[in-house]
Amino acid sequence: MFKKILIANRGEIALRVIRTCKEMGIQTVAVYSTADKESLHVRFADEAVCIGPPASRDSYLKIPNIIAAAEITNADAIHPGYGFLSENADFAETCADHDIKFIGPTAEMIRKMGDKITAKKTMIEAGVPVIPGSEGLLESVEQGKELAKEIGYPVIIKATAGGGGKGMRIIWSERDFQEHWDSARQEAKASFANDGLYMEKFIEEPRHIEVQIVGDQYGQVTHMSERDCSIQRRHQKLVEEAPSPFIDEKVRKKLGDAAIKAAKSINYEGLGTVEFLVDKYKQFYFMEMNTRIQVEHPVTEEVTNFDLLKEQIKIAAAVPITGKKHLPVGHAIECRINAEDPYNDFRPSPGKILELHTSKGYGVRVDTHIFAGYTVPPYYDSMLAKIIVKAPTRDEAIAKMQRALDEFIISGVKTTIPFHKKLMQDEDFRAGNFTTGFLEDFDWKEMT
Ligand code: MV4
């Protein structure tokens, strides 16, 4: 097992990693930017190294600084958390070159799944259902128009280097093709320095359902059931739950098998998430694979009773996984509490937290790095906390979330709490009747 892990991240996920390391008897090293000097991850770790000024590119994204911090503290592994360098193949490679274990898959696996066309081709070969569309890159507008006619409108064009909605355009008719093609290409080039585009049939009103995968260094892969992440706004998830209220045992089994197939086809090592789009007929299609621990991992922990960070660290340390079953028990829901003003187009609301009381009680978990007196810096993402509830049924979980939201007291910054309160009262949400388009026409400001 590792003796010392450096956590190349900040905020709640840095704390989450430190907690499990402590429980496993592993020493920890925090890294921090000058903006995070007073943060809890710095205080909770055994050692801490400043890696630069506030801007991410000069600190949490600065590979040489992080490697140097690992070398001077003698860390034998690096946990990248989520975001930042967590899916950066060059970083994984640099770690390996310095004999530091990157806690995650190999650089090769990250690259394969990072390029969406390569990922899709790999899935077709593995026999995992994918969305009908172009075979590889589109060569020209003409070819695009030709293919769209074949597939039938609406179609969607996506950036091969993309993910999370960037460089993506829905096209409803040939008239609009050129315009969307040009803007997608431009956006892809600006965002990823790669303007490669591909095309798919546009699936209307889908669900976003993802499967948690665990693979060890010996080719064994298991899944830990699914999460429903359909409640999103501009590709930012706001609520996640496990299991999905949309699928039954039969579909769950098929989804799980497909996710295992996907991971096995690349000899996947580590924790991963296979994202599917599920249409109204419950047909599912591979969308992307994430090769990191995800923000929403706690809902899976709550229904499977597994510490996912512990599993991830054990796999990286070459421990084989056991054949234990991970069928979901009960229902878990997570609400992301962001420092954003939901009454003002979810504008970021950084600042000093004056007053704080987090929700407590049976079945309630709050993962957070904030405290009264903490100043939320403007440089990083705006998530302050995750409220996670667990109860025997979905209805009970919603009731528990409502009382947990009522108990959460925070002042000094605006938060997404009023939005979540309204959502938990919504008939359609309560009935499990929602798709990824749900928030587009969710009139939540009328709250009483
Ligand atoms: C799609 C789609 C419909 N049809 N692909 C959004 C981000 C990126 N991961 C892929 N995305 C989508 N791809 C086809 N062929 C709809 C979306 C999509 C979406 C997917 C999941 C969750 C929220 C979404 C919001 C808008 C669009």
Segments making up each domain of the chain, as ranges: 4-103, 132-201, 207-447
- The three-state secondary structure class of 436 is coil
Ligand 1 atom at minimum distance from 230 CA:
22
* Amino acid 81: pLDDT: 98
Question: What tokens does 73 get?
Answer: 């503290």
Asked if residue 95 lies in contact with residue 67, where contact means CB atoms within 8 angstroms, the answer is yes
Q: How far apart are CA 32 and CA 10, in angstroms?
A: 7
202 lines ligand 1 (CB under 6 A): yes
Q: For 132-201, which CATH class?
A: alpha beta
The DSSP element (H or E) to which 242 belongs, if any, is strand 236-242
165 lines ligand 1 (CB under 6 A): yes
235 lines ligand 1 (CB under 6 A): yes
Asked if residue 278 lies in contact with residue 145, where contact means CB atoms within 8 angstroms, the answer is no
- pTM, full prediction: 0.96
- The three-state secondary structure class of 116 is helix
Confidence class of residue 442 from pLDDT cuts 50, 70 and 90?
Answer: confident
The pLDDT tens digits for 31-85 are: 999 999 999 999 999 999 999 999 999 999 999 999 999 999 999 999 999 999 9
Tokens 């990083």, residue? 380
203 lines ligand 1 (CB under 6 A): yes
Tokens 């969607």, residue? 156
208 lines ligand 1 (CB under 6 A): yes
Q: How many CA atoms lie within 13 A of 380 on its CB side?
A: 24
- Counting Cβ atoms within 10 Å, is residue 140 exposed (0-12), middle (13-18) or buried (19+)? exposed
Annotated active-site residue in 111, 169, 292, 394 = 292
Give the list of residues 6+ apart from residue 388 with CB closer than 8 angstroms, or none: 298, 299, 302, 332, 333, 334, 364, 365, 366, 367
Q: For 4-103, which CATH class?
A: alpha beta
Q: How far is the CA of 165 from the centre of ligand 1 (A)?
A: 7
Residues linked to residue 159 through DSSP beta bridges, in sequence order: 197
- Domain spanning 207-447, CATH architecture: 2-Layer Sandwich (3.30)
- The three-state secondary structure class of 320 is coil
Nearest CA to ligand 1 atom 19: 436
By most ligand atoms within 8 Å of CB, the mutation choice from 120, 285, 436, 441 for ligand 1 is 436
Lowest mean pLDDT: which of 153-167, 175-189, 195-209, 212-226? 153-167
Residue type, 434: F
Q: How far is the CA of 302 from the centre of ligand 1 (A)?
A: 27
* Amino acid 448: pLDDT: 46
The pLDDT tens digits for 306-318 are: 999 999 999 999 9
Active site residue 10: no
Q: How far apart are CA 310 and CA 2, in angstroms?
A: 12
